[in-house]
Every structure is written in structure tokens, then in C-alpha cells.
Amino acid sequence: MFKFRKPLIAANWKMHKTVTESLSFVKEFLPLAAGVRDIDIVICPPFTALLALSMVFENSPIKLGAQDVFWANQGAYTGEISPLMLQDLGCQYVIIGHSERRHIIEENDLIINRKISAAKQTNLTPIFCVGETLPEREKGLAREIVQQQLEKGLQDLTAGELVVAYEPVWAIGTGINASPADAREMTGFIREQLAILYDRTWAEGVRILYGGSVKPDNIAQFMNEPDIDGALVGGASLKAADFARIVRLNDNGS
């Protein structure tokens, strides 16, 4: 598999794992992933485990990401975590606009736009999530919804280091992944939109991930698609052996 853009596979642990559980995952995972050189591996644990993992990752190629961020660097924002604080912990990536935050926490495009802007200013690479719900897909609105999420999320922002994750809401945590053909169509569409919003050269360099029921047994199909540069993995990233098979693209390494 040759990829012009360096593949990136990120684990989104969501609200799973204590510090102790995070450390035991990493102890098991690091040797299993040791041979993987040509893929950026990012682990996004809960905020509470970031410090412990950042110390373990200091001498490892694994990169650290957060699952969310606030848009100001400091101030009276009870309970929030700033981009500066994440940077201080060694985070290089931050997931922004995940569908669970859009739908459960009711984050809107304006908030997401502020968060992407703040992350960029602190040199954290946003993993900007977009994707349609099942009713939206059934009504034929998938492209329109994703186009609006991109346009509003990136409004007034300059081009720069960005990762986009296409996560159709109906595929998240359901065991029903998008077909590679549907994922191909939507990731190609996302790249076209990025070229329209900015310019083609920049858009060609943006890494676009697929997320939604990615498993060891289906990762290779997604990675074969021209506009899919990696994956954002939820459930299957919680077990070290499974996530290791995913970053090895289900190659048993023999």
C-alpha cells in the first residue's frame, strides 16, 4: 500500500480507562506496535490519563491526542481544558466536533469553529470530525450536511495542518461500518470541498480518516481507498491486541 500522505490511525478511547488501565494498555501495546514505522499512531485517552501517557510516550513514536479542548487559553471557564494545557502535556492532536459532542453535549458549528481556531493557534493539529446521521443519509442529504459542517467549522480559518475524520453517525459504535464504496465517495467529496474552500494543493495534503466500526478485519479495505488516509477507531482501540492489529493493517507481522 503506497500512500502519498502519511497514514494516521488514531484511538479514541472516549470515556474509558482509568490511569492504571491506560498504562497497562500501553505496556501491552507498545511491543505489539514496535515494527510499525510508516503510520502515525495517535492515542486519545481521557484527559485524566494524558499526563501518565505523555511520560510513557516520551521515548516512543506514539503521539498523544486529546478528545476535546476549550477555545480560550485561560480564564473563568469552570471545568474546561485549554489548548495551552494540552500542549503543556505533550499533546500534538485534538479531536474536535466528534458526533457524540455534537449530539449528546449539543455542541454546534460555531463552538466547533472556535475550538479548531484555538487549537490551530496553539499548534495542536485538529482531528475535525464530520458526518451525517441515518435519517440525513436516507433523505439523500449526506453530502449537504457534511459540506455545511466543513464550511461552518472552518469558517474564517486559514489553511494549515488539519486532519478531517469522516464518521457517519450511523456507523459509530453500531458494528455497521460504511461500505468502502460509500466511504470512498464521501472522503473524495470532502477533499473536493476542501479544495473549493481553500486550494487544491493544500487539500491534496490534508489527511482524511474514516471512522465508524473500524475493526482489525476491515481496516485494510478502508486503507485501500484513494482518499482515506487512516482511521479514527473507538471500540476496537480499547484492547491492545485489536488496536495493534489495526495499526499493522491486520498483517500478522510474520
Q: What are the residue numbers of the active site?
A: 98, 167
3-class DSSP state for residue 69? coil
Q: How many CA atoms lie within 13 A of 15 on its CB side?
A: 2
Q: How far is the CB of 29 from ligand 13P (least distance, A)?
A: 17
234 binds ligand 13P (CB under 6 A): yes
The residue number whose beta carbon is nearest to ligand 13P equals: 234
Residues paired with 94 in a beta bridge = 66, 126
CA angle at residue 93 from 17 to 189, to 5 degrees? Answer: 110
Question: Contact between 112 and ligand 13P (CB under 6 A)?
Answer: no
As a whole number of angstroms, the distance between CA 8 and CA 41 comes to 6
Q: Which of the 8 DSSP states describes residue 158? A: P
CB 70 within 8 A of CB 77: yes
Q: Please state, in angstroms and rounded to a whole number, the distance separating the CA atoms of residues 99 and 135.
A: 15
CB of 236 to ligand 13P, least distance (A): 6
CB nearer to ligand 13P: give 83 or 212.
Answer: 212
Question: Phi then psi for 125, rounded to 5 degrees?
Answer: -85, 120
* 14 contacts 100 by C-beta, under 8 angstroms: yes
By CB under 6 A, residue 167 contacts ligand 13P = yes
Contacts with ligand 13P by CB under 6 A: the residue count is: 14
Q: Is 172 in the site for ligand 13P (CB under 6 A)?
A: yes
Fill in the DSSP letter of residue 159. Answer: P
Nearest Cα residue to 45 out of 74, 70, 24: 24
| Span interacting with ligand 13P, options 17-25, 52-60, 101-109, 167-175, rule CB under 6 A | 167-175
Using CB under 6 A, which of the segments 77-85, 137-145, 166-174, 239-247 binds ligand 13P? 166-174
* Count of CB atoms situated within 10 Å of the CB of 81: 18
**214 makes contact with ligand 13P (CB under 6 A):** yes
Q: Is the Cβ–Cβ distance between 39 and 3 less than 8 Å?
A: no
Is 233 near ligand 13P (CB under 6 A)?
A: yes
Selected range binding ligand 13P among 22-30, 106-114, 184-192, 207-215, rule: CB under 6 A: 207-215
Candidates 213, 228, 244, 247; binder of ligand 13P (CB under 6 A) is: 213
Q: Choose one: 17-25, 107-115, 146-154, 209-217; the region binding ligand 13P (CB under 6 A).
A: 209-217
41 binds ligand 13P (CB under 6 A): no
| Given 7, 12, 17, 96, the residue binding ligand 13P (CB under 6 A) | 12
CA distance 101 to 170: 15
Residues 76-105 that bind ligand 13P (CB under 6 A): 98
- If binding is defined by CB under 6 A, does position 232 make contact with ligand 13P? yes
Residues in contact with ligand 13P by the rule CB under 6 A: 12, 98, 167, 172-173, 211-214, 232-236
